Structure 1
Amino acid sequence: MSSLKLAKANAIVRGAFKRAGELGLKPIAVAVLDAGGHLKAFQAQDGTSFLRPGVAHGKAYGAIALGQGSRGLNDAALERPHFVQALNGLTGGALVPVPGGVLIRDGRGNLVGAVGISGDASDNDEACAVAGVEAAGYTAQTD
């Protein structure tokens, strides 16, 4: 399994912040987890509300825990709400099944982690997550 290094995790955060600035978004929080679901890097821009860190982590956690981007989890929540509710119960409420959590894959397609972003509309959060992942030289998986 590939290992997500701190420098790369920080590059993801920087890339996400850069994209948020380019889009003129509200302040965002960015959580980067390694392939084992451990927090590798976290930063929140000035002005984020106090729940944003938890939401960002929940988007990344759900993605890494279930092996799909949180957009896919959002679709599952719409199609099978009882199943996603059960999964959320199993994780103690840690999943946030809305867009903004993406898987991070290396050049060989190996899973190296996930990033979750919260602060603006979910589609904008996801766009920043993808930009951050790509800025660090990885491939983002959104669903």
Structure 2
Amino acid sequence: MAVAELDLARAQHLVDHLIAQAREKFGKPVCVAVCDAYGFLIAFARADGTPVRSIALAQQKAYTCTRMVGTTQAFLERLRREDLAIGYFCDPLLTALPGGALLDDGHGRTIGAVGVSGLAPAEDQLLADSGSGVLQHRSQRD
């Protein structure tokens, strides 16, 4: 079943789910940010014990995905491949740290993005990449 839209209830469910997954799989706390397709924040939480620096990073990872239309891992790879400095994009909110992924409606339409911060970059990215699947599963139950 497709996700009609990314509303607060779905966004908050994703935040809660990914925080629980980080604790279960990696034994550590994270920050999770979910934004709409334009990069505006819908839901955010910082699990107890997550480093303060992760607050802005999670939000910027989600934002970057919507602006660059892909994961933050893909953006990092592009910067390296094309020998680009992130400053060339003239957007101080962009980040190339892995841990951000687009969220789709189940039919390939982008409905938002998620950013995860607090773990190693590859672990952040793994959790973020699971975001669309979490939303699809919830929609099937709704």
TM superposition score normalised by structure 1: 0.86
CA apart distance, 1:80? 2.6
Corresponding residue number in structure 2 for 1:119: 118
Hey, what's the Cα distance between the residues in 2 that align with 1:63 and 1:126?
12
8 A Cα contact 1:3 1:34, kept in partner: no
Structure 2 counterparts to residues 52-131 of structure 1, below 5 A = 52-87=54-89, 90-91=90-91, 93-131=92-130
Hey, what's the Cα distance between the residues in 1 that align with 2:101 and 2:27?
19
Any gaps of 5 or more consecutive residues in structure 1? 139-143
Structure 2 counterparts to residues 33-48 of structure 1, below 5 A = 33-48=35-50
Hey, what's the Cα distance between the residues in 2 that align with 1:134 and 1:20?
16
Structure 1 SS opposite 2:88:
helix
Hey, what's the Cα distance between the residues in 1 that align with 2:106 and 2:118?
29
Corresponding residue number in structure 2 for 1:10: 12
Q: Give the counterpart letter for 1:95 in structure 2.
A: L
> How many residues get paired?
134
8 A Cα contact 1:73 1:97, kept in partner: yes
Q: What per-residue deviation string (whole Å, max 9, x for no partner) do you get for residues 116-137 of structure 1?
A: 0100101111122233432221
Identity in percent: 32
Q: What per-residue deviation string (whole Å, max 9, x for no partner) do you get for residues 77-135 of structure 1?
A: 21234353311xx11x2111121000001111110000001001011111222334322
Q: Give the counterpart letter for 1:130 in structure 2.
A: D
8 A Cα contact 1:34 1:113, kept in partner: yes
Structure 1 SS opposite 2:74:
helix
RMSD: 1.6
Any gaps of 5 or more consecutive residues in structure 2? 138-142
Hey, what's the Cα distance between the residues in 2 that align with 1:48 and 1:4?
25
TM superposition score normalised by structure 2: 0.86
